[in-house]
Amino acid sequence: MANLDGSSDGGVDAGSSDPGPTDGGAIAGTTTVTTDAGANDAGSGDANSSDASTATASDAGTPAPAAIDYTVMVAIPAGINNGVTAADQATMLNAFGNPGTPDPGCGPSSAALQKLMKTASVGPFRVTGLGPAVDALTRVFAAVQAAEPALYALLGTQGMLCVRFVRGSTTNFSNHSWGTAIDLTINGFLTPRGSTTISQGLLSLCPYMLAEQFFWGAGFPTPDGMHYEASNELITAWKANGTIP
Ligand SMILES: [Zn+2]
């Protein structure tokens, strides 16, 4: 049941020790990916200019807030990942053990880990990942849908579970191997690994993810804006409170 998300490329990540090639390689069957940063961001236009004409008379006294263009590329600001850190290899191995047989195209999960995986809709799409991580993402996206429906409408994924090494490494598993990380697209666009600019939508997601103690890969030494993962703090807490057996 591994790899229902079709991600041969689920991400990379745990960054510092393995400066691998990009997270955004070719993915069979995926038509939305482009690695041409910014190329598909031009279409949304200037949202500010169009709002006034659509206001009805009854709205006249309450000007709508300026719409956010979630597809524009923006710099990674300081202060992200406040209070959380990336889940390092020792924490992951201690919590779960070996995740399975790594393969660049996503290898099979161990029998023990398979029992902890879950395939479900998290709102905008279906994923396969660690049960409590899938549940956390479901809460994240419900909050996004309520507060920022225009952002919610643009969300897509390049996958969650994928048993493989970090790109460029033959020793360090990607956290996708345990199904605790997810790669996200905004309006079909995948912010490439290594890009120092990221889709505004990925930035706008950060507070919602942080509320569930998810770490944003934009904070890696090699930024990986598409990537969010259950933080070291969250994995440690799950292990301590028995969420992870
Ligand atoms: Zn990733």
Please tell me the distance between residue 229's alpha carbon and the centre of ligand 1 in angstroms.
8
Q: Residue 29's pLDDT is what?
A: 36
| Residue among 225, 231, 226, 227 at smallest CA distance from 75 | 225
Low-confidence ranges of the chain (pLDDT < 70): 1-62, 64-65
How many structural domains are present in the chain? 1
Two structure tokens written together for 182: 């997810």
Residue 52 forms part of a structural domain = no
User: Quick check: is 44 in a domain?
Assistant: no
Does residue 45 belong to any structural domain of this protein?
no
Q: How far is CA 135 from the centre of its chain?
A: 14
Q: 57 Cβ partners below 8 Å, 6+ apart?
A: none
- CATH number of the domain residue 152 falls in: 3.30.1380
The residues with which 215 forms a beta bridge, in sequence order, are: 229
In angstroms, the Cα distances linking 121 to 108, 116, 157, 197, 209 are 22, 16, 12, 29, 17
Whether residue 189 is contained in a domain is answered as yes
What's the gap in Å between 42 CA and the centre of ligand 1?
25
Separation of CA 224 and ligand 1 centre (Å) = 7
In this structure, is residue 51 part of a structural domain?
no
Residue 48 lies in a domain: no
Residue 137 belongs to domain spanning:
15-35+71-241
101: CA distance to ligand 1 center in Å?
A: 18
Q: Is 65 a domain residue? A: no
**Is there a domain that residue 166 lies in?**
yes
pLDDT at 168 (0 to 100): 85
Q: What spacing in Å lies between the alpha carbon of 34 and ligand 1's midpoint? A: 16
What is the 3-class SS of the chain, one letter each residue? CCCCCCCCCCCCCCHHHCCCCCCCCCCCCCCCCCCCCCCCCHHHCCHHHHHHHHCCHHHCCCCCCCCCCCCCEEECCCCCCCCCCCCCHHHHHHHHCCCECCCCCCECECHHHHCCEEEEECCCCEEEEEHHHHHHHHHHHHHHHHHCHHHHCCEEEEECCCECECCCCCCCECHHHHCCEEEEEECCECCCCCCCEEEHHHHHHHHHHHHCCEEEHHHCCCCCCCEEEECHHHHHHHHHHCCCC
Distance 65 CA to ligand 1 centre (A): 33
